[in-house]
Chains A and B, each alone.
Chain A
Amino acid sequence: MNRRTLIIRGAAVLLAARARPASAQAAPVLIEMKGSPRGERVAFVPSGVGVAPGTVVRFVNRDAGNSHTATTYHPDILDRPQRIPDAAQPWDSDLLLPEDAFEVTLTVPGVYDFYCVPHEHAGMVGRIVVGTPDDTGWQGPATDPGDLPDAALAAFAAVDVILAQGAVLPPGGDPT
C-alpha cells in the first residue's frame, strides 16, 4: 500500500467516524474464521466479543483450505442445547466457503454462544456478549454443559473478560 492510499483510507475512516451519530449503530463487528495452513488449528478470531444491542456481526471465512459455519446453540438448529437469550432468534450461517460472509443483527441483550458445525470438536466456538448485565432483560451465560464436547466448553471466554476487554482471542491465539 502506498502513502496516498493510506491517506485516503485514513480520511475515509475519519469521515465515517464523523458521519456516525453518537448513539447509532456502528459498522459491522468482524469475526473471522481462521485456520493454520494445514488445518491443525481452527478458530473464530476474535472468539469473544462484546457489542452494543443492535450491532451487526459479520462472519467471514478467511481460511483458504476449509469451510466453516457460525451456528447458535439452540434446539431449533440441529437439536442442540439453548445457549442464547430466550427472546433471541437462533441463527446459522450454513457452511461458508473461503471469503464467503454471513451477517446477523443482535438486538436482545445477553450472552450468545455459537460454534462451527464441522469444528466444534476441535474447540471452534465463540461467545458474543450483547449489552451489559445492567440492560433490561439481559440474560447471562448458559451453565448446563449439555451435550457439548469438553473442547468446546473449555474454549468459551468468560463474560467479565469479554466485557472488560471488548474482544478476546481464542485460547490458542490466532491460528494463522
Chain B
Amino acid sequence: MLRSITSLAAALLLGALPAAAQTAAETAPPEAPFAKVSELVTLPDFLPGLGTLYVDPASLPAGPFLGYDHDGKLSATIYMTPIEDLQDGTAYDDLAVGSNTVTSVDVYYNAGHPGVEKPHVHVVLYHDAEAKARLAE
C-alpha cells in the first residue's frame, strides 16, 4: 500500500511538472513510444547535422526528435514545425526536451523530407558544446 501511494505521489509530481522537465535516455535507443526515424520512413540512419533520430510517431510533425551521435550519446533535441501550420495559427507549446542541459540553439529552414514533407523550421537544441561537431557528419 505504502509503495503504491509513493508511486502515485511520484506520478502526480511528475504530472505536475511542466512537460519541458521530462528528459530522455542519454544513450540510444530511447524507450518506446520513441522509434527510430529511419525505420519509420525512408531516410538514412544518420542525418548529417541532426544525428540518428528517434521520435514518438504520435508527436509528429513537431517532435521532439531525439538526436544521438555516432556513439549513441544524446546530443540534441529537434523540433520540426511546418511554416504553413504556423501561419495558420497552430502553436507548438510545452514540448518536452531530451535533456535539461542546453548549450546552444540553431533555428533554420528545411524544404521538407520524408516524415515531415511540408517546408518547415528546424529548431535544434544542442545538449553540450561539442554536440554540433559530433552531429555534423
Contacts and interface: CB of A to CB of B under 8 A. Distances in A.
- Whether both chains belong to one complex is answered with yes
Contacts of A37: 48-49
B110 to A, nearest CB: 4
Q: What does DSSP make chain B's interface, helix, strand, loop or mixed?
A: loop
B42 A97 contact: yes
Interface of A: 35, 37-42, 64-67, 95, 97-98, 118-119, 121-122, 124
Contacts of A124: 111
A95 B111 contact: no
Given A35-B111, A38-B108, A65-B48, 15 more contacts: A38-B122, A39-B112, A64-B44, A64-B137, A65-B49, A95-B114, A98-B44, A118-B112, A118-B113, A119-B111, A121-B112, A121-B119, A122-B112, A122-B119, A124-B111
The interface size bin for chain B is 20 to 34
A118 B117 contact: yes
B43 A67 contact: yes
A90 B111 CA distance: 26
13 contacts: A38-B49, A40-B109, A42-B111, A64-B48, A67-B114, A95-B42, A97-B42, A118-B114, A119-B117, A121-B112, A122-B112, A122-B119, A124-B111
A67 B49 CA distance: 15
